[in-house]
Amino acid sequence: MRGLLRPIAPFVTLAAVLLAWLLAVRVFGAPPMLLPDPADTARSFRAALRSGELATDALATVASAAAGYAIGCSFAFALAACMALSRTAERMLMVPVMAFQSIPKVALAPLIYLWVGFGARSSVTLVALACIYPVFVNGFTGFRAVDQNLVDLLRSAGAGPGRIFWSVRLPAAAPQLFVGLEVSVVFALLAAVVMELVAGERGLGVRIQSASATLDVATVFGALAVLAAIGILASALLRAVRRRLVFWQRDTGGVEATA
């Protein structure tokens, strides 16, 4: 019975949310300006899909988020490895990293617009900055949590720092790194939409802003649904890659550590 419920549980939850939405609108009379009818939202979604505008905006957001995600996560991985392997680097960089993390990345959006300019480059920059810390903190923790006995064993066998890193430290940190990567997916979409609201030319953030200006709440809900779907698909893809690469760890079906 439990095996049967597991695949259908998300759809049961989705059906419950849709039912509550219908009741709020059609039974309790929620104002359309605050909560649109699901049928109106579906019609607006289909119209935008047929016109190609929704696909164009979604692709623009995904492209900016993916580019910034790759840049930010790559930098965070290198930073975590450097600081985990070198106490000197840790002492020099830990305080600046923590100080940078304490700044809300959303607050940097106007500055990035002034520095980088209008359009996709601003989105890529903010996404990269937003993705650094989750990968860094999980990677740093994972690299430092390696079994020292294994390190000593390889070192006694004549292995150099590079061999030890790829054979021991990276596999030990891989589960934690994937936690950071999954958390960063959420941050990437958030940063991309925020930057599109500030200085975007295309994207779901621009679509949400223009629809809000005309009180087209149904279009806003449609764009939010697309963002949710993108996040779910990206997380599912990361979990599939994690199961393939980190095959020795039992899959828990989600994020099991904080960022």
65 pLDDT higher than 70: yes
Q: What is the pLDDT of residue 78?
A: 94
State the average pLDDT over residues 29-42.
82
26 pLDDT higher than 70: yes
Residue where the block lists tokens 């104002």: 31
Burial class, 5, CB count within 10 angstroms (exposed 0-12 / middle 13-18 / buried 19+): exposed
pLDDT in tens, 132-174: 999 999 999 988 887 777 777 777 777 777 777 787 888 888 9
Q: Hey, what are 154's tokens?
A: 């390889």
Distance CA 181, CA 235 (A): 9
Domain count of the chain? 1
| Summary mean pLDDT of the chain | 85
Q: Is residue 254 part of a domain?
A: no
Distance CA 164, CA 153 (A): 10
Q: Hey, what are 212's tokens?
A: 């809000």
256 pLDDT higher than 80: no
Q: What are phi and psi of 68, to 5 degrees?
A: -65, -35
8 Å CB contact between 119 and 199:
yes
8 Å CB contact between 107 and 194:
no
The helix/strand/coil state of 137 is: helix
Distance CA 68, CA 200 (A): 15
pLDDT in tens, 188-198: 999 999 999 88
Q: Where are the alpha helices (DSSP H) in 52-169?
A: 53-85, 87-101, 109-116, 120-144, 148-156, 161-164
Q: Is residue 137 part of a domain?
A: yes
Residue 67: give its domain's CATH number: 1.10.3720.10
Q: Is residue 13 part of a domain?
A: no
8 Å CB contact between 57 and 207:
yes
Q: Is residue 17 part of a domain?
A: no
Which residues form the domain of 180?
A: 42-245
Q: Is residue 29 part of a domain?
A: no
Q: Hey, what are 134's tokens?
A: 């989750």
Q: Is residue 236 part of a domain?
A: yes
Q: Is residue 255 part of a domain?
A: no
Confidence of residue 257 (pLDDT cuts 50, 70, 90): very low
State the average pLDDT over residues 10-29.
83
Residues above pLDDT 70, as percent of the chain: 93
8 Å CB contact between 231 and 182:
no
pLDDT in tens, 174-216: 999 999 999 999 999 999 999 998 887 889 999 999 888 888 8
Radius of gyration of the chain (CA): 22
Q: Does residue 212 or residue 73 have the better pLDDT? A: 73
Q: What is the pLDDT of residue 2?
A: 61
Q: What is the pLDDT of residue 259?
A: 46
The helix/strand/coil state of 229 is: helix
Q: Hey, what are 27's tokens?
A: 């039974």
Q: Is residue 7 part of a domain?
A: no
